Amino acid sequence: MNRRDLLKQGGAALLAASSVRATALADRTVSKSNDLQDLVISFSGPFCYWPESDAEGDYIRIMAPQVVKPFCAPHLPWVGTTANEARFKWCPTKTYEYDLTGLKSRTVTYSGTTMCSFNQETCRDPLPAPPPGCRKCPTEFSTSHSSSSVLPPHGTNSPQEVYDCCPALFWIRVPIPDRFIGINPTCVEFTPNRPDGPKYASGVNFFYENRPDAPIDLENIRIVCPQPPGGFDFHADFQNDHGLPSATLRINLSPLNSHDDPNHTHAKQVFFQMLKMFPWVDVKSIKFCDRPVQNGNACSGAQVGPGDDCLAPVFLLMPQTAGKRTPKK
């Protein structure tokens, strides 16, 4: 065999080996795409979580406080995957009611970072008019990092009392997940003192397992609302998550300001704006115990946050009884 024939045979062998490897890789890719892929819905921002039931079943109402412009610490609400995204629509005088479709509720397990939890109470519904100051920036607190932030006086916490609650900017009705996971710890000290602190979740992940007895069709995950002009219909596109163990949907209330906030002013303003939706909550003051952000320094070893400051803890409002208590929409 001459040298030319030997090189031809060697080249053919290399091409055949490459073809075999490519075929095996394609087979593995197809196999992965056929596997059941789980779903994670990641909530980032000052949302409040209200589990409840109605004639259609169990779900969690994800409530956004009124922190969009012209609020002093403005945020932008949006939803997205790694392939598509959209801004939520809102109205200053009406609370839009969104639904996440394509999922069924499961039996939930709570895990992760401790949630800042309170009892559910009853908001007046219908409310003749929103209480004064619902969209006004909170100012009744000290901006000193070493001082507390004081809430205005509120009514007594009585199970029979009906409260005049500030309405949410909007809310999203989301099926109950397999796991409700508190994430992104932030350090807050409360007055009255809470025994479960001082680290609380500033975000939440919902985990839905895709299994034969509870299948998930990732082609059919949508967030819809007929109320805004022209409606709202976000069809989640998970094409960039193919081959991964789970697909991810992100629901966000992102701060628009990005600069140092050494006194935690923005986080305090957002926290007290959230409290306006739940006037029965027994929190008279808060103090952020993490070192504040200044000149690019980290807020704390536990959580520096995706933005400019320590983040406000998010709320989980748990039912007290089997009865249904529905917050003001």
Q: What is the pLDDT of residues 208-245, one digit of tens each?
A: 999 999 999 999 999 999 999 999 999 999 999 999 99
Residue 254 is predicted with a pLDDT of: 93
Burial code (b: 16+ CB inside 10 Å, e: under 16) for 38-60 equals: bbbbbbbbbbbbbbbeeeeeebb
**Cα 30 to Cα 23: distance, rounded to the nearest angstrom:** 11
Task: Identify the pLDDT of residue 306.
Answer: 40
User: For residue 240, what is the DSSP state?
Assistant: G
For residue 48, the model assigns a pLDDT of 98
Closest by CA to 43, choosing from 222, 205, 211, is 205
Which is nearest to 277 in space by CA: 162, 72, 134, 99?
A: 134
> Measured at the alpha carbon of residue 230, what is the angle toward residues 226 and 233, in degrees to the nearest 5?
55
Give strand pairing partners of 255: 75
DSSP character at residue 114 = P
Cα–Cα nearest to 253, from 108, 83, 131, 73: 73
Longest dimension (CA), the chain: 99
pLDDT score at 33: 44
What tokens does 8 get?
């031809």
- The pair of structure tokens assigned to 194 is 């809470």
Query: pLDDT tens digits for 254-311?
Result: 988 866 666 788 888 999 999 999 999 988 888 887 665 555 444 444 444 443 446 8
Q: Which residues of the chain have pLDDT under 50?
A: 7, 15, 20, 22-34, 142-157, 296-309, 323-329
Domain ranges of the chain: 35-318
Quote the mean pLDDT of the chain.
81
Q: What is the structure's pLDDT at 141? A: 57
Q: Please, how many CA atoms are within 13 Å of residue 57, restricted to the half-sphere of its CB?
A: 10
pTM of the predicted model as reported, rounded to 2 decimal places: 0.80
Cβ count near 329 (within 10 Å): 17
Q: Which pLDDT value is given to residue 232?
A: 98
- Say if CB 100 and CB 221 are below 8 A apart: yes
